[in-house]
Amino acid sequence: MRLGFNDMSRYNRITVLNLIRRNENISRSELAEKTGLTPPSISRITKELMERDLIIESGVGESHVGRKPIMIEFNESSRSIIGLDLRPDHINGVITDLSPTILKRYEKEFDINLTPNEILNLSRKFLTNIIEEAEKIAPLLGVGIVLPGVVDIAKGELTYSAPMGWSKIDIKSNFKEVIPDVPFKIDNLAHAVALGEKWLKSERERENFIYVYVGKGIGAGIIANGQIYHGSEYNAAEIGHSTINFNGPQCNCGNRGCLETYCSTKVLQSNIENELDIKIDSEEELWKILNSNDKKVKKIIEEALDYLGIGIANLINTLNPEKIIIGGWPQKIGYDQVLNYLWESAQEHSMEGLSDNIEVEFSYRDEDVGPLLGAATLVLEDFLTETAIKS
Ligand SMILES: [Zn+2]
């Protein structure tokens, strides 16, 4: 059974549903007042939404005159959503409700020598199991998956991914046979994390912001007018390969002096190894050193933040966002000085006046959770926004 709305009153229903979702508790007369719809229309719509189990009556509210109103709330537990995060060496999955809160979490590691086909076969089995579990909790609303790379969301295809070493892989067809008749959404990892930020943290405040992830690679997701900005071929926000210095170090993309060649974790690690004359064997060790108070390490971090600030200044000058959200290693080090230092560099390199009212903050989720909730919000966005009406 497909759980979406498919008729002409869909727009009104979605408007009312979103209003209920955002207000926690709201009465029918308040809904009529806020939407401009007539009380009979509101009665009809709330009845339909209740029949679909998407809203519930939650008690009586206060009233100074007349009858106390019956309050309505969004029924977050009425559906389940699956979010998947596929990487070269593992797949993670979650089952969420509609809030979306993570209800269950699953992980599977892959041998790094596996072929794309073998990885997809294992992922299909992994998903089959999660679907079974999700349907025990509540009817499944849809499945969202995120991957690091360029994703053709219309075809459901991974166009190219440097971290996976994959190109032209039809992800949608691979999973199609195990997914029941519900929407399957796919997107680039950083794009989806940005969408998750919009839904989970600040939906009412921000419609134009950028999420920047700085890890082994650098990726970004742009939310423009409340929606992911994908670009003409889903390639938008590849800021890791914007040129900072055309005479700079060779980048794996073939160009020179890309932002990534100055501030990825790989570069931080090799700079620290050279400067301190040591060998760093694990990620844990790298984090420990990055968090130490060593003066030389601090200087290396500041230099990386200087460059990252230039990358961010370019985004500010080009896109004029309300906010920049930072994830990855600067967040993992996580102290205010890092954010302040980064912001000073961004301000210094952006056009005067442009950055005055822009806020910068860390993503509040840990690295593993962000992509998974992002994947789930791909499904939620489709279900609960006007975009869904047009499709
Ligand atoms: Zn590059």
Measured in Å, residue 299 CA sits from the centre of ligand 1 at 24
- Sequence-separated (6 or more) residues with CB below 8 Å from residue 147: 86, 87, 158, 161, 164, 171, 186, 188, 189
Measured in Å, residue 204 CA sits from the centre of ligand 1 at 35
Measured in Å, residue 253 CA sits from the centre of ligand 1 at 4
- Mean local confidence (pLDDT), 330-351: 89
Comparing CA positions, the residue from 48, 47, 19, 22 lying closest to residue 31 is 19
Burial of 25 (0-12, 13-18, 19+ CB in 10 A): middle
pLDDT at residue 259 in the model: 96
Q: Which residue has the higher pLDDT, 203 or 344?
A: 344
Measured in Å, residue 116 CA sits from the centre of ligand 1 at 24
Give the pLDDT confidence of 139-153 residue by residue, as tens digits. 999 999 999 989 999
At 157, is the secondary structure helix, strand, or coil? Answer: strand
Write out the DSSP string of 85-153: EE-SSEEEEEEE-SS--EEEEEEEE--TT--HHHHHHHHHHHHHHHHHHHHHHS-EEEEEEEESSEEET
pLDDT at residue 391 in the model: 42
| HSE, side-chain direction, 13 A CA sphere, residue 285 | 8
List of long-range contacts for 295-304, beta carbons under 8 Å, 24+ apart: 296/272, 297/272, 300/268, 300/271, 300/272, 300/275, 301/268, 301/333, 301/338, 302/341, 303/262, 303/271, 304/262, 304/263, 304/267, 304/268, 304/271
Measured in Å, residue 57 CA sits from the centre of ligand 1 at 54
Cβ(137)–Cβ(80) below 8 Å: yes
Calculate the CA 323 to chain-centre distance: 15
Measured in Å, residue 217 CA sits from the centre of ligand 1 at 10
pLDDT at residue 185 in the model: 96
pLDDT at 272 over 80: yes
pLDDT at 1 over 50: no
Measured in Å, residue 201 CA sits from the centre of ligand 1 at 31
Return the H-helix or E-strand segment holding 346: helix 336-349
Measured in Å, residue 359 CA sits from the centre of ligand 1 at 27
Measured in Å, residue 203 CA sits from the centre of ligand 1 at 33
Give the pLDDT confidence of 211-244 residue by residue, as tens digits. 999 988 899 999 998 889 999 888 888 899 999 9
CA distances from 31 to 20, 34, 49, 156 (A): 8, 5, 13, 38
Cβ(271)–Cβ(300) below 8 Å: yes
Measured in Å, residue 97 CA sits from the centre of ligand 1 at 38
Give the pLDDT confidence of 201-214 residue by residue, as tens digits. 555 567 899 999 99
Give the pLDDT confidence of 368-380 residue by residue, as tens digits. 788 999 999 999 9
Q: Name the pLDDT band for 183 (thresholds 50, 70, 90).
A: very high
At 328, is the secondary structure helix, strand, or coil? Answer: strand
Measured in Å, residue 314 CA sits from the centre of ligand 1 at 16
Measured in Å, residue 300 CA sits from the centre of ligand 1 at 21
- Mean local confidence (pLDDT), 276-284: 93
Per-chain mean pLDDT for the chain:
90
- Sequence-separated (6 or more) residues with CB below 8 Å from residue 317: 350, 351, 354
Give the pLDDT confidence of 54-95 residue by residue, as tens digits. 999 988 887 777 778 899 999 999 999 999 999 999 999 999
- Mean local confidence (pLDDT), 289-313: 94
Measured in Å, residue 250 CA sits from the centre of ligand 1 at 8
Measured in Å, residue 36 CA sits from the centre of ligand 1 at 51
pLDDT at 6 over 70: no
Measured in Å, residue 239 CA sits from the centre of ligand 1 at 9
Return the H-helix or E-strand segment holding 319: helix 295-319
Measured in Å, residue 20 CA sits from the centre of ligand 1 at 45
Rounded-to-integer distance, Cα 136 and Cα 115, Å? 32
- Mean local confidence (pLDDT), 275-304: 93
Measured in Å, residue 165 CA sits from the centre of ligand 1 at 15
At 241, is the secondary structure helix, strand, or coil? Answer: helix
pLDDT at residue 3 in the model: 45
Measured in Å, residue 32 CA sits from the centre of ligand 1 at 53
pLDDT at residue 236 in the model: 87
Q: Name the pLDDT band for 162 (thresholds 50, 70, 90).
A: confident
pLDDT at 5 over 70: no
What is the CA angle 103-194-159, rounded to 5?
A: 100
Measured in Å, residue 228 CA sits from the centre of ligand 1 at 23
Cβ(379)–Cβ(4) below 8 Å: no
Give the pLDDT confidence of 18-43 residue by residue, as tens digits. 899 888 889 999 999 999 999 999 99
Q: Name the pLDDT band for 251 (thresholds 50, 70, 90).
A: very high
pLDDT at 2 over 60: no
Cβ(144)–Cβ(185) below 8 Å: yes
Measured in Å, residue 21 CA sits from the centre of ligand 1 at 42
At 184, is the secondary structure helix, strand, or coil? Answer: strand
Measured in Å, residue 291 CA sits from the centre of ligand 1 at 27
